[in-house]
Structure 1
């Protein structure tokens, strides 16, 4: 799994208070969905047939949203919190 927090600068060149937190990766064979929960919003997405996962939420600067992967047998595997670079 790879994460990235990104934002555009304000007019004065400083990073904004809010931006985007993205998760990409290759999920386990039994994974069916990805769930990202941040302070500002949450996102759910299905795992692609080839195992690729992608999700993105609005997030505060420095925030590390929680990431879970849901499996075919009903388990919910916590994959974070992570701090994005």
Structure 2
């Protein structure tokens, strides 16, 4: 993992300084860094923005509790990602309303036959290789009111839409 200034901001936002969290993966897109963070109770995607020359953490963080799961050998249609977790991050306008655009993240565990994951919104798309351990982690920008599609691509050329 490449060191990034936003990692410390993400860790502090999730656990406070010196907490039991550690970064798992980092993705940087258009002035936003998504940091996938593990701590003793769960995993979360923390979006950190670059504003006015500094990295700023979010006020709200979403994630999931850890659940032990055996990684499948083959991708299952209808549930191609185990422990699927989706997160959305948006800022507020000066009027206190949600911005028109948000950042969306997806994480989970893919089967052993999975090669890549794609997250696609109406305005953005990102395709990322699945980690050797099955880790799925991708982010894309989209309209705040949409739910971007998430597809697992298998080594045999298959494509499976996540629910």
Relative contact order (C-alpha < 8 Å, sep 6+): which is higher? Answer: 1
Q: TM-score, normalised by structure 2?
A: 0.47
| Structure ranking higher in helix proportion | 2
Number of aligned residues: 80
Residue 12 of structure 1 deviates from its aligned partner by 2.2
1:66 alignment partner in structure 2:
149
C-alpha separation between the residues in 2 aligned to 1:68 and 1:40?
16
2:61 alignment partner in structure 1:
none
Gaps of 5+ in 2: 1-83
Give the counterpart of 1:11 among 94, 107, 110: 94
Map 1:1-85 to 2 at 5 A. Answer: 1-80=84-163
Gaps of 5+ in 1: 81-85
Q: TM-score, normalised by structure 1?
A: 0.87
Following TM superposition, the consecutive aligned residue runs of length 4 or more in structure 1 with deviations greater than 4 angstroms are none
